[in-house]
Amino acid sequence: MPEVIFPGPAGRVEGRYQEPPREGAPIALILHGHPRAGGSMQDRTSILLYKMFTEFGFGVLRFNFRGIGRSQGVFDNGMGELSDAASALDYLQTANPNAEQCWVAGFSFGAWIGLQLLMRRPEIDGFVACSPPANHYDLGFLAPCPASGVIIYGTRDAVTSAPDMERVISRIRTQKNIKVDSRSIDGADHFFRDVNDKTKDHLAEVDQHAREYLTKRLAPNAPRR
C-alpha cells in the first residue's frame, strides 16, 4: 500500500496506490466521504472498497480530497473535489495505460463525486456507490447513465431515506444495455452501523454485496458495461 503524491488542480494530492499484479489488469479509483464530516481516504468504507478491488486483481488508487491529510487546497463544495478526482483518474490511467477495465467506487460524498466523474469520463466501465446522499445532491444527471453499476445503501439511512433512494434508482435502473442494480441493508444507517444495536456493524454486508456484484460483472461472458 505505497504512498503516492501526484499533482492536482489545487496542488499536491496524497494517495495510496496498489499496483496491479499484471500488465493490462483493470483499475479502480476510490473516493472518500465528506471532508467536512471527517471523511478521508482512511475511512472504513473507503478502505473496504480499496481492499476488495485489490483482492480482485485491480490496480487501485485511493486519495485525500483537497485540504485533507497532506493534500493541498481547501474544500470547494464539490466542484474542486470533482477536479481532484479527474486528476487522480489521470494519474491512475497514466500508470496503467493498457488497463482492460476502469471502475470508480465511493462512499457518501465520494459516491456523488464518482457518479459525476462517470458522466464525464466515457472510459469508466462500472461503479460501486455506497450511501450516495441523494437527498443532499441531485442525482438526476444520471439519466441516462453511461455505465452499469450497483448502489448499496442502508434502510435506516437518515441522510437519504430508503424510499427516496429507491425513487432515484427507479429513474435510472434500466436503460438500453445499461443496468443499475441496488442492494439494501436492513437496519443500517448512512455509515452502515446498526440503528438499534450500536454494537452491530453492517460493513461485512457491504463487502458481500460489492463482491457479488463485481464477480458477476467480471465473469467471462458478462457485458463490459
Whole-number pLDDT of residue 100: 96
Claim: this prediction has a pTM higher than 0.75: yes
Q: Provide the CATH number for the domain around residue 39.
A: 3.40.50.1820
The answer as to whether 225 is a domain residue is no
The answer as to whether 208 is a domain residue is yes
Q: For the range 41-47, what are the long-range contacts, defined as Cβ-Cβ under 8 Å and sequence gap of 24 or more?
A: 41/14, 41/15, 41/16, 41/68, 41/69, 42/69, 43/107, 44/203, 45/107, 45/108, 45/130, 45/131, 45/191, 45/192, 45/203, 45/206, 46/106, 46/107, 46/110
The answer as to whether 224 is a domain residue is no
The answer as to whether 163 is a domain residue is yes
What is the number of domains present in the chain? 1
Whole-number pLDDT of residue 175: 67
The answer as to whether 44 is a domain residue is yes
Task: List pLDDT tens digits, range 169-212.
Answer: 887 766 667 788 999 999 999 999 999 987 899 999 999 999 99
Could you tell me whether strands 27-31 and 59-63 are parallel, antiparallel, or unpaired per DSSP bridges?
parallel
Which structural domain range is residue 35 located in?
3-217
The answer as to whether 135 is a domain residue is yes
The answer as to whether 223 is a domain residue is no
Whole-number pLDDT of residue 174: 64
The answer as to whether 76 is a domain residue is yes
Name the stretches of the chain with pLDDT < 50. Answer: none
